[in-house]
Chain A
């Protein structure tokens, strides 16, 4: 049936952020690597150039860079007593497709997690007592990662220097640095490039936050503040604040992406082969089920191939990583009734919200002068940066004015009480467009026994494979957390001079019909215990030692921040283990 191809050392399922990093790192060792990408090839020149790249309808609304729902989607329900139905169009989150994956259309917001986030269970028990999490919600699952911040720090550093991230350090080797985030985990050195210019909305937020005693700092950005040559020898440009980042690709070489930071080097390697428009159908296992023999994929004509490989790296979008493990029978699927099994367990998301702050007409925000990762934020309510003892919830959110654009189909705010359409609506849109600031809240999504991923029993993708089924709602804990912070955000909005403020904050039920975030996390989480994790601390499958599952799917619970920086650090951490341990002696890196 399937044509059997010549065996290679490594195959990556997906060529986005983690697939590119892995191939580049292992390719330098001379290994023969095949990258299989379901989408099309694309390059900064000519594919991302003006004027076509600045088309809001095509990219933001029609979502031209995202996976085609016709071919593949996810089914969804809020709770397991409902029937999951297909997400027929992406709205809430936007998995990308094409060479470079979602790392092309991201905004560039580049946060490290904090020390406590990696030892979350231990930390919360030490600070608040062993029963605190249970009191916040009996359904909550909180786990340590099996890796510590100190172990990851060199990999965070390396990843940020790959990207050229622009930011202001707040803590270098324990010394608090003015102007940065005083809550940040200690870094060994500053960012590779200085922070971006502060737009007006950021400056107004800074003033408001300052007046309330908070600690504003420039959002770390991988849209660069100045030209930068990364360690791969690739030159990145300077961001011009065009306001077309998120859901777009950058024409200026100014946003870190596989195209700007790695691919030109990788694609020149004779031992690397890229196969685009090819859909991996499953990972093949040997008769014992403990070792992968390679993958089976279909090319664009539907012809199937078997690609044998010594090492299989699952490097797709987090949701697709989980599905690949499930359809391949790697790891025991999670059973929400018994609580047993691991694959699909601990799926988490990110809580979002925020206030819309309407200002006087004399204040011209010019929101279209923006970058995907510019702006000013505070971390005073992030993670466990504030005392939760009397609050009855765990978790937190960072808060900031980080408007990414003024693109008008998406951005035309009107104050409360404005009719939904008609003349009054139109005049309110014209009145407020240039005089409104969105202050966002982005934060923790706590894993729950009730939230999980499995294979849908009914709906299939274009290749006849079952779709992934998502069962998810925000735990009440997360709602309490977000609503608590929403009050603080309203106070900031008032301090910013808001003449009218729409309060935000996460609410239940979670809905797939409104964009929130593409930080889907977990489902194939890492950990120290094979009974509660899919991969070990090196992101290696507990069950099939030559399969590593890289990416956001490994994150046990989303600890507030946008996860790209952490995904990059985890990937370098895992690749280091592959290079220095696994390749020398293939087998489980941690005894089961």
Chain B
């Protein structure tokens, strides 16, 4: 795993699926909760569940890198807690997706724990990128690392970690995430369709222009946490 910012297995392991109960469980029963079954998680990823959830791999690929179209986010190495919370949001309607909402509802608590633990531990290469638009990347980098004074926008890295590496267990990595996914989600916040993190992400997204969204998405997509790709000094 090259992202280097993952929660310890201990933390990931004690997560259970139901959002809102997650941390209560962590607080009170951390020694009682069985570790999630990553092997079972792998099976769900590959085959889906009898309760009607299709295989994750259909869109996210078995290794969590997804298909590269950018329609589906990269989830490999994303904190299990974050993934479980989002699945809960899809189930409860905080997030809405024709594809993900039924899946969120179909997965049991144990399924969620297993499958998120499975994806969280994956370290997979990034798919090749088209030549990025340097101007756009530069503008995105400015927003991501510095912010914008005139419009009161703080640096994304304040919460998403150095170069978007994430701050597990709650805050996801952005580094290497598909630009079209980042842009789409920011637009969902702007339009009010995405209601998770309403007091953190929604006010920030509201301050971004379409150009900002494209820029910050383009920037993070090409930040890649692999030692094989070291950015020039």
Q: How far is the CA of A49 from the CA of B162 in the complex (A)?
A: 12
Q: A238-B200, A240-B200, A251-B154 are in contact. Are A45 and B159 (CB under 8 A)?
A: no
What is the interface of chain B, defined by CB distance below 8 A to chain A? 145-149, 152-155, 157-159, 162, 199-200, 203
Q: A46-B146, A50-B158 are in contact. Are A226 and B199 (CB under 8 A)?
A: yes
Residue in A closest to B147 when the chains form the complex, CB atoms? A45
**Can you spell out 24 A-B residue pairs with CB atoms less than 8 angstroms apart?**
A43-B149, A44-B147, A44-B149, A44-B154, A45-B146, A45-B149, A45-B152, A45-B155, A46-B147, A46-B149, A49-B154, A50-B155, A51-B162, A234-B152, A235-B152, A235-B203, A237-B200, A237-B203, A238-B199, A240-B159, A251-B154, A251-B155, A251-B158, A253-B154
Q: Is A264 an interface residue (CB 8 A)?
A: yes
Q: How far is the CA of A253 from the CA of B152 in the complex (A)?
A: 8
Contact residues in A for B199 (Cβ distance below 8 Å) = 226-227, 238
Q: Is A431 an interface residue (CB 8 A)?
A: no
Contact residues in A for B157 (Cβ distance below 8 Å) = 50-51
Consensus secondary structure, chain B interface:
mixed
Interface pair B153/A49, CB less than 8 Å apart:
no
Most chain B beta carbons < 10 A, residue from A49, A50, A235, A240: A50
Contact residues in A for B149 (Cβ distance below 8 Å) = 43-46
| Contact residues on A (Cβ < 8 Å of other chain), bracket | 10 to 19
Residue in A closest to B200 when the chains form the complex, CB atoms? A238
Q: How far is the CA of A235 from the CA of B199 in the complex (A)?
A: 12
State which of A44, A227, A251 has its C-beta within 8 Å of the C-beta of B203: A227
Q: How far is the CA of A563 from the CA of B30 in the complex (A)?
A: 43
Q: Is A252 an interface residue (CB 8 A)?
A: yes
What is the interface of chain A, defined by CB distance below 8 A to chain B? 43-46, 49-51, 226-227, 234-235, 237-238, 240, 251-253, 264
- Beyond A44-B147, A45-B152, A227-B203, 19 additional contacts (C-beta under 8 Å) are A44-B149, A44-B154, A45-B146, A45-B147, A45-B149, A45-B153, A45-B155, A49-B146, A49-B158, A50-B155, A50-B158, A51-B157, A227-B199, A234-B152, A235-B203, A238-B199, A251-B158, A252-B154, A252-B158
Contact residues in A for B200 (Cβ distance below 8 Å) = 237-238, 240
Interface pair B154/A237, CB less than 8 Å apart:
yes
Contact residues in A for B203 (Cβ distance below 8 Å) = 227, 235, 237-238
Contact residues in B for A238 (Cβ distance below 8 Å) = 199-200, 203
Q: How far is the CA of A234 from the CA of B152 in the complex (A)?
A: 9
Q: How far is the CA of A45 from the CA of B146 in the complex (A)?
A: 7
Contact residues in B for A252 (Cβ distance below 8 Å) = 154, 158
Contact residues in A for B145 (Cβ distance below 8 Å) = 49
Contact residues in A for B146 (Cβ distance below 8 Å) = 45-46, 49
Q: How far is the CB of B81 from chain A (nearest CB, A)?
A: 15
Q: How far is the CB of B219 from chain A (nearest CB, A)?
A: 16
Contact residues in B for A264 (Cβ distance below 8 Å) = 152
Q: How far is the CA of A46 from the CA of B152 in the complex (A)?
A: 10
Contact residues in A for B153 (Cβ distance below 8 Å) = 45
Q: How far is the CA of A251 from the CA of B200 in the complex (A)?
A: 13
Q: How far is the CB of B121 from chain A (nearest CB, A)?
A: 24
User: Top 3 A-B pairs ranked by shortest CB distance?
Assistant: A45-B147, A45-B149, A50-B158
Contact residues in B for A253 (Cβ distance below 8 Å) = 152, 154
Interface pair A44/B158, CB less than 8 Å apart:
no
Q: How far is the CB of B4 from chain A (nearest CB, A)?
A: 15
Q: A235-B203, A238-B199, A238-B200 are in contact. Are A45 and B148 (CB under 8 A)?
A: yes
Residue in B closest to A43 when the chains form the complex, CB atoms? B149
State which of A45, A51, A226, A234 has its C-beta within 8 Å of the C-beta of B154: A45
Q: How far is the CA of A252 from the CA of B154 in the complex (A)?
A: 6
Q: How far is the CB of A506 from chain B (nearest CB, A)?
A: 36
Q: How far is the CA of A43 from the CA of B151 in the complex (A)?
A: 12
Residue in A closest to B145 when the chains form the complex, CB atoms? A49
Q: How far is the CB of A587 from chain B (nearest CB, A)?
A: 42
Most chain A beta carbons < 10 A, residue from B152, B157, B159: B152
Q: How far is the CB of B226 from chain A (nearest CB, A)?
A: 22
Q: How far is the CA of A46 from the CA of B199 in the complex (A)?
A: 22
Q: How far is the CA of A240 from the CA of B161 in the complex (A)?
A: 13
Q: How far is the CA of A44 from the CA of B149 in the complex (A)?
A: 7
Residue in B closest to A251 when the chains form the complex, CB atoms? B158
Q: How far is the CB of A201 from chain B (nearest CB, A)?
A: 14
Interface pair B155/A49, CB less than 8 Å apart:
yes
Residue in A closest to B148 when the chains form the complex, CB atoms? A45
Q: How far is the CA of A44 from the CA of B162 in the complex (A)?
A: 19
Q: How far is the CA of A240 from the CA of B159 in the complex (A)?
A: 9
Contact residues in A for B162 (Cβ distance below 8 Å) = 51
